Amino acid sequence: MAQTIKNQIIEGNIPRHIAIIMDGNGRWAKEKGMNRIFGHSQGVETVRKIVEASSEIGVGYLTLYAFSTENWARPKKEVNALMELLVSTLKVEITKLHKNNVKLHTIGDIAALPEKCQQELEESKKQTENNTGLNLTLALSYSSKKDILNAAKILAHKSVNGDILIDDIDESVFQQELSTCNFPDVELLIRTSGENRISNFLLWELAYAELYFTKTHWPDFDAEGLYQAIDDYQKRERRF
């Protein structure tokens, strides 16, 4: 079935930038009588599948909501486990990502992460910095509201210092101060696990995105689910 759906996809109309809110690890684990950490570890397997499938069909940019600023409020044990999982996953996966020509990026307050995470992320990004395939961005300790607020502050300082005139500030100028300034706007947002919310994710960049919600928990999401989302996207009439 996945192959059939994949064959329906129009090659010339692949979303250039897909963003995903990977939701449902905890609920998936609870339904199986396991702890949330087990759900997160299984979610990593899904990340691998989706990155491979996205790269294979020619998606240019894939942004994954891995950890929001609100996630710091979770139990300390779970947060620590997530940080350890991030480090161990990068150690295992970065060689394969590099081999597949994937370029790794991050957005968010990376300085808030444990030093070990920061080091592993920096090394991984450096290893893939010259790759020219899929641009994979991990949103970590990320808040879109904070990113927008930070851009406003930067432009306010520039205005006060006489580096820019207020009348010269337009959408293009503002966008250059966002952490996503080097990425195209999102064309397709996917959220798993049945929640129909944006949850403070890429608010500026999602202005004209098509939204796709599925009840499938993230650990059960797969390449077929991705193809279905893209097929649905291609059947819509996009009006800006």
Alpha-carbon Rg for the chain in angstroms: 18
- 71 catalytic? Reply is yes
CA distance 132 to 136: 11
Catalytic entry in 7, 13, 71, 135: 71
**Residue reference for tokens 């684990």:** 29
State the residue for tokens 């994949």.
6
Q: How many CA atoms lie within 13 A of 178 on its CB side?
A: 21
Q: Is 167 a catalytic residue?
A: no
What is the enclosing helix (H) or strand (E) of 91?
Answer: helix 76-99
Reading the block at residue 202, the tokens are 């890429």
End-to-end, the C-alpha distance of the chain in Å comes to 33
Q: Are 20 and 191 in contact (CB under 8 A)?
A: yes
Identify the active-site residue in 23, 25, 135, 147.
23
Residues annotated as catalytic (active site), given as ranges: 23, 71
